Structure 1
Amino acid sequence: MSNLGYTLMTEQSGPRELVGYAVDAERVGFDFAVSSDHYSPWLTEQGHAPYAWTLLGAVAQATERMGLMTYVTCPTLRYHPAVVAQKSATLQLLAEGRFTLGLGSGENLNEHVVGAGWPTIGVRQRMLAEAVEVIRALHTGDLVDYHGEHFEVDSARVWDVPDEGVELAIAVSGERSITELAPLADHLVAVAPEAEILETWNATPGAPQIGAGARAIGQIPVCWAPSAEDATAYAHEQFRWFAGGWQVNADLPTPYGFSGATQFVRPEDVAAQIPCGPDLDAIVEAVGAYWEAGFTDVALVQVGDRWQQQFLDEVAAPLLDKLRAAAP
């Protein structure tokens, strides 16, 4: 059966609210929680972007059972991989083994802020592969010198490392990224319920096998609200950035760019991609595409902050029951 997760979406809620949502998500029965790791919201209407690592440290102390994960951290531009190695080791200690480090090649929206430019996708993937090598080396607790094409590490050591290590989940999409990155990962992250992604991953030499210890972790937005009309209007306000797909989403640099790029996206266009309204069966059907594709884990994003508490208090528990009843 799929593990069901809750998304702490830093773009749409403040840090104190997110910690409270995490506590409630554990209370109602979610198996794990993932946090976005952004410097900026996608749209100005979302209005938030607290620091994911401070948030997750607080969540680790406020919860006891749920797995925790970044979904996902880019360890190549805004953060140096040596810093990611240190903070992920610390978080694993605070979470007592519940943390998985989700990694990806990033989005221009968040990474351009340090003035390092925005590389092409091929370069970003090679940078990510090098970053993983650095993180793995530092998680041994040994003294590390590293001289790569993109990163230098000079006499670095992470002094507080967890005995169980930190498992790495890496975001992939096409064949090129899977071939290069799957052998470096413990788990797969993907944002589309495509069986071909998992099949290509499992066919890649050296890749940990999905279904034999490795997880395939997906994510899906839903917009529960008391009425379909309210949900559709709110999803359009908060989540129309989603309509362009990740090939577009990775490259736009600012919320204003996303606003311009989505000015002709209609509410009905958003509702065609995101289940909107009080119909839990429609949400179950949408989530089902992930386990039908072979995913082991699916994290839900309840769109926006407006009905977030009501979703957790009144909707999440019966929704989880329905999802678990329908899952293989």
Structure 2
Amino acid sequence: MAKIGYFLSCEQNGPKELIDQAKRAEAAGFESLWISDHFHPWNDEQGQSPFVWGVIGALSEATSLPVTTGVTCPTMRIHPAIIAQAAATAAVQLDGRFVLGVGSGEALNEHILGDPWPSVGVRLEMLEEAIDVIRILHEGKEISHHGLHYEVQEARIYTLPEQPVPIYVSGFGPQAAEFAGRIGDGFCTVTPDAELVKTFRSSGGGDKPVQAGTKVSWDRDADVALDAAHRLWANDMLPGQLAQTLPRPKDFADAMTLVPREKMGESVATGPNPDDHAKQIREYVEAGVDEVFVQQMGPDTEGFFASFERDVLPQLRS
């Protein structure tokens, strides 16, 4: 049976709110946590973007749930050697209940130091080398690495968990799913796409874990729920490569004006009906996802957790 976790949105919540949501999620019966890793929110309406590694340290003291970054880009904004140290510390703090989810990033977060934004092929090449650097450093020896994209000089990580940190690789298309199957310890995605899951498994993923994040907007008033989803997260409906290439939150806000309000309602569960929310999550389970993480987009988090504890999670587990 698939596990149901809660998706902590760093784009929409401050650090204290994230910790409060994590506690509520555990009390409501969610089994694990996903947490996004951004420098910017997608748009100014979302309004937050705390440093994820500080939040993870606090999570380790606030809950007993496993945590996955959904996802970290270890290629440009932060050097992979520093991500290796951060991930190792997080795994120690969480007593081994930590997974490093990684991806090739978006210009929104990765352009901030003035680096040029490479093509998809180059970004995947950088990601593969970054994963190699992280894995080598997690062996605990002093290493030097002279690669195509990264240089590491006589570095050693001293604070390490008992087992190497699993690295799950994200992917939203066949090329990335194949890449994840070849080098990942698991796969992260955001769509209930059975073909993507099959591509991951047939490309070397086998029976490794598949995680997916999804969003809902719970509210007693269906119109309020739909308004919140459209105002805050219409960026999820943008087509093509826009999510990877637009550089500023205000650019996403401009592009979001092209997304009709009703399109959000067709794509995500909005309102109070528990069957609608359960149906959306089941689509991921039926696509072969092992662990589904649910994010609440609307403002009524208390109502969301009460409804999921009482009406949604029990029917998914029955």
2:43 alignment counterpart = 43
Residue 251 of structure 1: CA displacement? Answer: 1.2
Residue 69 of structure 1: CA displacement? Answer: 0.8
1:198 alignment counterpart = 197
Q: Which amino acid in the other structure matches residue 2 of structure 1?
A: A
Distance in 1, Cα, partners of 2:53 & 2:310:
27
1:97 aligns with 2:90: no
CA offsets, 1:229-267, max 9 Å, x none?
Answer: 111111111111111146321111111101111112221
Check the 8 A contact 2:4/2:31 in 1, yes or no: yes
1:273 alignment counterpart = 267
Residue 35 of structure 1: CA displacement? Answer: 0.4
Q: Secondary structure at the match of 1:114?
A: coil
Residue 314 of structure 1: CA displacement? Answer: 4.5
CA offsets, 1:136-176, max 9 Å, x none?
Answer: 00000011111111111111111111111211110023332
TM-score normalised to the size of structure 1?
0.94
1:232 aligns with 2:226: yes
- Equivalences for residues 245-264 of structure 1 within 5 A: 245=239, 247-264=241-258
CA offsets, 1:54-95, max 9 Å, x none?
Answer: 00110011112x110100000001110000000000000000
Distance in 2, Cα, partners of 1:186 & 1:68:
15
2:153 alignment counterpart = 154
Residue 268 of structure 1: CA displacement? Answer: 0.6
Distance in 1, Cα, partners of 2:111 & 2:292:
29
CA offsets, 1:287-310, max 9 Å, x none?
Answer: 111111111010001104x21233
1:179 alignment counterpart = 178
2:305 alignment counterpart = 312
Check the 8 A contact 2:168/2:180 in 1, yes or no: no
Distance in 1, Cα, partners of 2:147 & 2:70:
26
Q: Secondary structure at the match of 1:69?
A: strand
Distance in 2, Cα, partners of 1:77 & 1:62:
31
Q: Secondary structure at the match of 2:139?
A: coil
2:136 alignment counterpart = 137
Q: Secondary structure at the match of 1:149?
A: coil
Check the 8 A contact 2:214/2:292 in 1, yes or no: yes
Check the 8 A contact 1:129/1:181 in 2, yes or no: no
Distance in 1, Cα, partners of 2:239 & 2:302:
28
Q: Choose from 234, 238, 243 the match for 2:237.
A: 243
Distance in 2, Cα, partners of 1:223 & 1:245:
21
Q: Which runs of 5+ in 1 are unaligned?
A: none
Check the 8 A contact 2:6/2:294 in 1, yes or no: yes
Residue 318 of structure 1: CA displacement? Answer: 2.7
Q: Secondary structure at the match of 2:6?
A: strand
1:323 aligns with 2:316: yes
Check the 8 A contact 1:85/1:138 in 2, yes or no: yes
1:59 aligns with 2:53: no
Check the 8 A contact 1:284/1:323 in 2, yes or no: yes
Greater alpha carbon shift after TM alignment, 235-244 vs 72-81: 235-244
1:12 alignment counterpart = 12
TM-score normalised to the size of structure 2?
0.97
Distance in 2, Cα, partners of 1:173 & 1:47:
25
Distance in 1, Cα, partners of 2:278 & 2:310:
13
Distance in 1, Cα, partners of 2:27 & 2:315:
17
2:210 alignment counterpart = 216
Residue 183 of structure 1: CA displacement? Answer: 2.2
- Equivalences for residues 69-80 of structure 1 within 5 A: 69-80=68-79
1:296 alignment counterpart = 290
Check the 8 A contact 1:141/1:161 in 2, yes or no: yes
Check the 8 A contact 1:67/1:98 in 2, yes or no: yes
Q: Secondary structure at the match of 1:250?
A: helix
Q: Which amino acid in the other structure matches residue 50 of structure 2?
A: P
The number of residue pairs the alignment matches comes to 318
Distance in 1, Cα, partners of 2:95 & 2:56:
13
